[in-house]
Every structure is written in C-alpha cells, then in structure tokens.
Amino acid sequence: MTGQVLVLNSGSSSIKYRLIDLASRRWTARGLVERIGENGGLLVHGDVRVERRFPSHEEGLRAVLAAFAEHGPSLDGVTAVGHRVVHGGSRFVEPTLIDEEVERAIEELAPLAPLHNPANLEGIRVARRAFPGLPHVAVFDTAFHATIPPYAHTYAVPREWTDELGVRRYGFHGTSAAYVSRRAAELLGRPYDEVNSIVLHLGNGASATAVRGGRSVDTSMGITPLPGLVMGTRSGDVDPALPAYLNRVAGMSVQDVDAALNRDSGLLGMCGANDMREVWRLVDAGDPHARLAMDVYGYRVRAYVGAYVAALGRVDAIVFTAGVGENDSRTRSLALTGLSRLGIEVDAGRNAAPSREARVVSPDGAEVAVLVVPTDEELEIADQTAARVAALAR
Ligand SMILES: Nc1ncnc2c1ncn2[C@@H]1O[C@H](COP(=O)(O)OP(=O)(O)O)[C@@H](O)[C@H]1O
Ligand SMILES: CC(=O)OP(=O)(O)O
Ligand SMILES: [Mg+2]
C-alpha cells in the first residue's frame, strides 16, 4: 500500500499524532496536544506551538487539523486513519475497520479502561467526521496478548464471572510490546519466532510482558490497566481486599478507592511526584519518601522479571522501552540489581551512555542480553492499519 496513514493516539488528557509515509516508513509530521480539559493547554505541531485551553478532545483534534491546514503538510495524500484503542476485550484481537457498530462496542468496553477508552472513542468520532471518505482502523493494546494461555489469563474467581462477565486478564501496551520484541530479535540477529524476551514498558503507565517466540504468554496488567508494576499515578499490585478494607475502616466507596488507585497512587501517591525526573530530583535532595518510592518501583520490576524467567524457562533478552525505560539509566540499573545469578547484568558504561537508538546495555557474552529499544506505537499502528486496508482491497 502507498500513501500516508494518519495515526491518532488519544490519551486521557492528550492527543499524540503522526503522519506516516508508507513507502519510506518515515513520519512526515508529528505533534501532540497536552493538558486537554485543564488550564495551560499546549499544541505542538512540528515547530509550531499554540498555548491555550483545549476544553475537549474534539477541540484538540480540530486544532490539530487547523494546524495541518495552516502550516502543512497537506493531508490530501492520507489513505487511512489508524487509531490506538486501549481495550478491545475478548472480541477485538485484530486491527479492525471501524463502523458504527464497532464504535458502540468500544464504548461498551469503556468501564474496563475508564482512563483510556472514552478518550480513544472521542478521537475516533471527531476523525471519522473530519475524514468521512477514508477507512479508519482501530489497533488495540489488548490484541497482542490474545495468545496468553488460559492458565495465565484466568483469575481464580467464580466461573460465572469469567464466563458471563468477561472477567480475566487482558493486558495492555501490546502494540508496543509487539514492536519492541520484534526489533529486539532483529538487533540480536535472530528469527523472531526463536527469541524469548521480557518487555519492560516503563512510561507513565508501566507493564511487564513475557514474549515466547513472538507471542505474548503473560503480562502484568489485568482486566484493567491498574495492576502490576508501580506507575506514575497507578498503584499496580495491591491486595484485592483493599477496597473492602478501606470501606470498612474509612467509609470510602468502591468508586473513591478505584479513582485513588488510578489517579492518586503510584509514584505520585508515595512521594508527591509522578514524573520520574522529578522523583530522582527529590531522591537526590534527600527526600526519604522518594527514596522509598524508587525502592518499591525497582523491587516490583525485579519481582516480575523473576516471575517471567520462571514462566519462559529460557530468556534471551530483557527489553526496556517507553519514557522511563528508554531515557532513565538509573531506573534501568535499579530495576535489574541483584539478578546476576539469573544471567542478567547491566554494563554501567553502556547503560549510562545517552542514545536514541536501539542498543545493547549488557556486557559482552552475557547470558541474557539487556536492550534499550525505543518504542514506536505509531509506526506499528500505521503498519497494522495499512495491512488491514490492503486485506480489504483484496
Ligand atoms: N529523560 C527522562 N528521564 C527519566 N524519565 C523520563 C524522561 N523522559 C520521560 N520520562 C518519564 O516518562 C514518562 C512518560 O512516558 P511515556 O512513555 O511517554 O508515557 P505515556 O505514553 O504513558 O504518557 C514521564 O512521565 C516521565 O516519568
Ligand atoms: C494502557 C496504558 O496504561 O496506557 P498508557 O501507558 O498510555 O497510559
Ligand atoms: Mg504510553
């Protein structure tokens, strides 16, 4: 397929977008709208910056389209629009052409990803109105995890919940895990279907995924994107009895506890900052809460790595990606401390050397390669969108 794909990644308070040329597989425009619905909104379109309030995703996306019209490049060559959708439930395990019915199904899945699916859907609605003649394709975060075996995705709960209410592990960040695990195999010069890896996607949201021969076999997030690793504002794993306990002793409602575990917990809850750069600044200033927060963060990653070594049996690569994983050598080193008996080691010099490229940061000859691979969810979405549209045309 030739032409260009416009990729939209609508988050809870942001829209990231990319215009990707399919022939060269390079982007020709990129940008983002930040702090949607808050004061201090910002649109960055290439070199152009617009500072104003964007009350909704609809207004944000309109401003993006206006920026394309005013500053270029032209959107006339766009042949399809690809949308990141976080939760696809059990139904959406492939990139899917969006129609009214698919929109409704994404809406019905919103309770499973309340921070994400509503924003994704708003992006889809505005874009479908702006480009009514183009195919729009949804690429789901959950899809890559459809291969997780039942013993790893089933919760030990009453069977009716599983059978009738869709209660199970789904997992997220799958588009990213698919992209970086494939890149990791390329970097190692080995066939994708022979490489076992553990992907550590450490961004504002964070997850660990075990990949065996190109297929996800376990992941740390669950029915929602709340469990697993410590995140910017999400708790990750807690005792499932916590909502009931807090209800009993503090009179908090289930909704209040859920909101607090999603928005006021994680690094933010433990030390008052959710941006990793700020957390390290606090650590360096001697803040004991920030120090403990980082120790919890590192320990949790380590514990998941250990679990996934057990799940995979043989591990060829550990792959760091996303905002923290790609940029923060201190967190990488903390996360893998004390794992040398598992063959996992980080070379201090390689790890600390700044780079934007995919690279190896373990010592030569290490049993397990430790890699840093910048994720590119937008390129992966563009590829999957183009493949879906090409299949339709056949
Ligand atoms: N240079 C850096 N050093 C350490 N952490 C960073 C750096 N740049 C970004 N981050 C972290 O990455 C996070 C954003 O990661 P990203 O993958 O873009 O998250 P999301 O897609 O969930 O918004 C920030 O909240 C911050 O904690
Ligand atoms: C699913 C999820 O956590 O996504 P993000 O990291 O973009 O918040
Ligand atoms: Mg992300």
> What digits encode the pLDDT tens for the residues 304-339?
999 999 999 999 999 999 999 999 999 999 999 999
Q: How many residues does the chain have?
A: 394
324 Cβ below 6 A of ligand 1: yes
- Is 201 within any annotated ligand binding site? yes
| pLDDT for 303 beyond 90 | yes
- Is 324 within any annotated ligand binding site? yes
Q: What ligand 1 atom has the least distance to the C-alpha of 375? A: 17
How close is the Cα of 349 to the center of ligand 3, in Å? Answer: 28
176 Cβ below 6 A of ligand 2: no
> What digits encode the pLDDT tens for the residues 213-224?
999 999 999 999
DSSP 76: T
Half-sphere CA count of 24, side-chain side, radius 13 A? 7
pTM for the predicted model, two decimal places: 0.95
Whose atoms come closest to the Cα of 262: which ligand? 2
> What digits encode the pLDDT tens for the residues 151-204?
999 999 999 999 999 999 999 999 999 999 999 999 999 999 999 999 999 999
141 Cβ below 6 A of ligand 2: yes
- Of all protein residues, the one whose alpha carbon is nearest to atom 6 of ligand 2 is 205
How close is the Cα of 247 to the center of ligand 2, in Å? Answer: 28
Predicted local distance difference test score (pLDDT) of residue 115: 83
Helix H or strand E segment including 308? helix 288-312
- Of all protein residues, the one whose alpha carbon is nearest to atom 7 of ligand 2 is 205
Active site residues: 141
Residue 230's contacts (CB-CB under 8 Å, 6 or more residues apart) are 206, 236, 266, 267, 270, 293, 296, 297, 300
- Of all protein residues, the one whose alpha carbon is nearest to atom 23 of ligand 1 is 204
Cα 167 from Cα 156, distance rounded (Å): 10
Question: Sign of torsion, CA 54 60 65 67?
Answer: positive
CA-based radius of gyration for the chain: 21
390 to each of 87, 144, 285, 387, how far by Cα in Å?
Answer: 24, 20, 55, 5
- Is 275 within any annotated ligand binding site? yes
Other beta carbons within 10 Å of 68: 18
How close is the Cα of 253 to the center of ligand 2, in Å? Answer: 25
368 to each of 78, 112, 315, 319, how far by Cα in Å?
Answer: 42, 35, 6, 10
172 Cβ below 6 A of ligand 2: yes
Residue 108's contacts (CB-CB under 8 Å, 6 or more residues apart) are none
- Is 377 within any annotated ligand binding site? yes
Tell me how many degrees the CA angle 333-214-25 measures, rounded to the nearest 5.
85
How close is the Cα of 205 to the center of ligand 3, in Å? Answer: 6
| pLDDT for 1 beyond 70 | no
User: Which residues face 81 on adjacent strands?
Assistant: 6, 136
> What digits encode the pLDDT tens for the residues 239-298?
999 999 999 999 999 999 999 999 999 999 999 999 999 999 999 999 999 999 999 999
266 Cβ below 6 A of ligand 1: no
- ipTM over the 0.95 cut-off: yes
